[in-house]
Chain A
Amino acid sequence: MTSVAISDLSLSFGPVEVLKSLNLEVEEGEFVVLLGPSGCGKSTLLNCIAGLLDVTAGQIFIDGKNVTWEEPKDRGIGMVFQSYALYPQMSVEKNLSFGLRVAGLPKNEIIERVSRAAEILQIEPLLKRKPGALSGGQRQRVAIGRALVRDVNVFLFDEPLSNLDAKLRTDLRVELKRLHQRLGNTMIYVTHDQIEALTLADRIAIMKDGLIQQFDSPSNIYNNPHNRFVAGFIGSPGMNFLQGALVSEAGQWFFNAEGLRVPLSDYRFVHPPQEGQAVEFGLRPEHIVVGDASTTQPVTMQVDTELVEPMGADTVLWTNVAGHALTIRTDSESNVKTGDNINIGFNTARVSIFSENGERV
């Protein structure tokens, strides 16, 4: 069943069109991550779903109900902000219960909900404290608790972890995933951290300039990017792109670039290729095999190492092949040195080829 449906949503701030006729359907119980560069309209979209911004055109449905013009409190959503947005002069308990009391819920019901949320988030010992006396992680937990007590089906998160340090972010990320498994709510989560997106999401919506570029499972986003933008945005270090053209010879397609000729025997075309078509050839640094093992790969070549960057768990090699820059990620065991000429290999089943307009070929 669809939990949140957005159809042809547009939003402009004066002359600036931030969201452009955007469509999105989120299934019940799904964890959806909105991922995109800064300023692409992720927060704006989330605020529209929450009802904190009036849309210019389009409709929003939550649990089958058209809520386009409903007040935030009537939409059945809870929201968590990057800045926590706790009420600083109230104790944690009052932060959690204030909205419920204003809504006129019976006292024992309020107590029950608050203690349940506190138990789930393990903030019982903090209930009497004020937000000022809490650490960042504890504050964010309280903020999540405030959404939890509302007993709603849809949770919205706007970069909830980006104010925390790296270690805490990892811990809370795991906790959020557990929370989602336990509650089974629909969650829509905004971030610009790809690791967060790839680890948390059931499906990721990659946004750019107010449009969704691809809405797909993390593995599809990673392995089958629909366009050049998605391919370049996901992955670190980023995908290698080589400029060239497609040519065919005896029924076999090749990628041709200056001093390079790659047979595309394993590549699955989504659109029929054309002779001489100008394309970009995308190859992920981590899909390149280095050294002796490379001989087993369908495509092999030799590259010159220009720079070696050890990163702990793995090593990044900045190499050059016939004038094309190629980044390679390999494990830290390989003892390649700057200036070495090394053998590499890869499988064209794992590459992505994009036409000039950025679409996958």
Chain B
Amino acid sequence: MSNNLTNQQAPASEATGRQRRHPLLRNLSAKIAAIPMVLVTLVGFVGCSVWSIVYSFTSSKSLPRETFVGLKQYDRLFDSSRWQASVENVAIYGVCSLVFSLGVGFLLAVAMDQKIRFENTFRTIFLYPFALSFIVTGLVWQWLLNGDFGIAQVIRDIGFTNFEFNILSDREYSIYAIVIAGLWQGTGFVMALMLAGLRGIDQDIWKAARVDGIPAWRTYLFIVIPMMKPVFITTLVIIASGIVKVFDLVVALTDGGPGVSSELPAKYVYDWMFGRGNLGQALAASTVMLSTVLIILIPWAYLEYSQKKDATHG
């Protein structure tokens, strides 16, 4: 360090002194400005994650204790039928919200991009649910999906007197109630992101494609969507983080029921940590969640990063 400082104070004529400066000292002020953020990340995220992982190997109850019990908590976790249901449900919820909010959001954005009238009105309508909290969304849909006086009753009133629709109290389908409510809330936001992406495409590209005689759907598929890759990645990250942490929606809509049929991992962690006072079990569950995310994230980040490097070098 002191060596570098003397280098800096060397006479200006010694031009090589500047070049030989340690890489750590380049953009020094920017780095100093970033220190608080780096500390927060290190302590908040990395530190707490490590702490959680360590205590997931203990038999901690309400308070953390350092009695290590090896993989016992994990054994118990994977044996638990509630955890198994949670994992299955998060898979259903995840696949459905990824596919539908991306698909429907993109199609809505395409529809909005056709220079329709009242575009602002529609955009507000679609985006409005995003302004609500998950608790409100959950309560709204609890009413709408109620088998006795929700949408089902409306359809019966129209004349289909035998109509039955009560997924909230159906073990098989209750998770789909959460999927529907989640999509209702999130799709408008995806649409807004996609619309911004579509608007960012140079109009000349569209003109060129028309002169080339490329039909609109092919232009979208082979030219516009590839150009929107950054928007898709941003959207994907936002949706994916929403999937991992979905919690309040379940609490408000079904509270995990009937039985454990609509439980989700984040709720499992919460219940064991605060409801049942079993820190070890809760941390084991959260560690499994963390490793799943990392298993998906690391190869992807690696791929992205190495590609960028190739692009700049090649």
Contacts and interface: CB of A to CB of B under 8 A. Distances in A.
Interface of A: 47, 50-52, 71-74, 77-79, 81-90, 98-99, 102-103, 146, 150
B205 A72 contact: no
B210 A72 contact: yes
A148 B209 CA distance: 15
Contact of A102 (B202, B205, B215): B215
For the complex of A and B, list the 3 residue pairs with the smallest distance between their C-beta atoms, beginning with the closest.
A73-B213, A99-B212, A89-B226
A85 B212 CA distance: 12
B222 interface: yes
A131 B1 CA distance: 45
Contacts of A81: 204, 207-208
B206 to A, nearest CB: 9
A162 B247 CA distance: 55
Interface in B172-231: 202, 204-205, 207-215, 218, 222-223, 226-227, 229
B213 A78 contact: no
Contacts of A74: 213
A77 B222 CA distance: 23
B212 A52 contact: no
A71 B209 CA distance: 12
Interface of B: 202, 204-205, 207-215, 218, 222-223, 226-227, 229
Given A72-B211, A73-B210, A99-B213, 9 more contacts: A71-B213, A72-B210, A73-B211, A79-B207, A81-B207, A81-B208, A89-B229, A99-B211, A102-B218
A130 to B, nearest CB: 10
Contacts of A88: 226-227
A62 to B, nearest CB: 13
Contacts of B218: 102
B208 A85 contact: yes
A79 B223 contact: no
6 contacts: A77-B211, A88-B227, A98-B214, A98-B222, A102-B214, A146-B212
Nearest to B228: A89
B304 to A, nearest CB: 16
B213 A102 contact: yes
- Residue in B211, B213, B223 with the greatest tally of chain A CB atoms within 10 Å: B211
Contacts of A73: 210-213
Nearest to A75: B211
- Residue in A47, A90, A99 with the greatest tally of chain B CB atoms within 10 Å: A99
Contacts of B226: 88-89
A274 B222 CA distance: 67
Contacts of B214: 98-99, 102
Contacts of B208: 79, 81, 85-87, 146
A87 B220 CA distance: 12
B207 A47 contact: yes
Contacts of A72: 210-211, 213
Contacts of A87: 205, 208-209, 222-223, 227
B227 A50 contact: no
Contacts of A82: 204
A72 B210 CA distance: 6
A146 to B, nearest CB: 7
A341 to B, nearest CB: 55
Contact of B210 (A52, A90, A103): A52
Contacts of B222: 87, 90, 98
B207 A85 contact: yes
A271 B301 CA distance: 78
A83 B213 contact: no
A98 to B, nearest CB: 7
Contacts of B229: 89
A51 B213 CA distance: 12
Contacts of B210: 51-52, 71-73
Contacts of B202: 83, 85
Contacts of A51: 210
B242 to A, nearest CB: 28
Contact of A98 (B204, B205, B207, B212): B212
